[in-house]
Amino acid sequence: MLFSRIVYENASFNRSFSVESNLNHMNFLVKTLEECKVISKDELLAIIFTDINNFPKGYLTKTELRQKLIEISSNKAVERKYNQRNYLFNMCERLSGIYINNDKNEMSLNPYLFDKKEKYKGRDAYLQRLYKIALMNEYMEKYNSNKPKCSLEHRAYPVLIASHIKPFASCNEIEAFDKDNGLLLSKNMDSLFDLGYITFNNDGTIITSVELDDDVREYLNLFKLETSLLNNKRQKYIQFHRQNVFRQNKLSN
């Protein structure tokens, strides 16, 4: 994640130019990928030759990419940029969140555009670690804490779980490591949440299953998720959990 963030925030395609650009070219590339869905290796040349000052919207459309390719086709400087293009393409292959099809020399933010038959089969240990770090950092930033704690109990247990809201087995690859699809929980809270014995209302108040003993339910009702954690994306994941994981049809507080 650190390497990806550094490249995203600071990289410039114009390092070889006499005047180094202060603009965020990697951001421009990512936004162009979002707009165009797929970018070919040759289309990277078009981006390299683009003066992004002329595109205040922050990206190129597919039509603009193709027009730029035609425009630079007779430019003798293109051949000198092949190494830069290849370097950039290979660098993108190392970034989490950018997917490469080497057979077609294309890249995308969506892996399923390349091979719909290829399914996400297991947890990538590296991405799982990044996912947990993101949740730990989120807690420390929101609560101005010097250490991560359980998002419900606010205690710094020696073991904390990066708990998925929408179960991992039900996630596509993007959802599987989306920080907003996670909560940092103690082992006990994670087990209760993962097995559907507790869930949450949109305001963060806890919902307990009638399958739990009354004294356990009474204890759990002392806790709630702070609204600062409940952005729109996380609320949608929690809604999925409430409707598909929670262990009873009639909700009980």
- Taking CA atoms, 17 is separated from 8, 22, 55, 68, 231, in Å, by 19, 12, 20, 19, 42
Cβ atoms of residues 96 and 5 within 8 Å: no
Q: Residues 228, 233, 239, CA angle at the centre, nearest 5°?
A: 95
Compute, in degrees rounded to 10, the torsion defined by CA atoms 234, 238, 240, 245: 140
Q: How many CA atoms lie within 13 A of 74 on its CB side?
A: 2
- The pLDDT of residue 210 is 92
Using left for φ > 0, alpha for ψ between -120 and 50, and beta otherwise, residue 110 falls in beta
| Token code pair at residue 226 | 């702070």
57: closest CA among 33, 34, 28? 28
Q: Which residues of the chain have pLDDT under 50?
A: 1-3, 6, 9-10, 13-23, 116-121, 250-252
108: closest CA among 62, 58, 70? 62
Cβ atoms of residues 160 and 150 within 8 Å: yes
The string of pLDDT tens digits covering residues 54-82 is 999 989 999 999 898 888 887 877 778 88
- The pLDDT of residue 39 is 92
> How far is the C-alpha of 221 from the C-alpha of 216, rounded, in Å?
9
In the block, which residue shows the tokens 């807690």? 139
- The pLDDT of residue 110 is 75
- The pLDDT of residue 120 is 45
SS3 240: helix
| Token code pair at residue 173 | 């690859």
- The pLDDT of residue 207 is 97
- The pLDDT of residue 148 is 96
Cβ atoms of residues 184 and 163 within 8 Å: yes
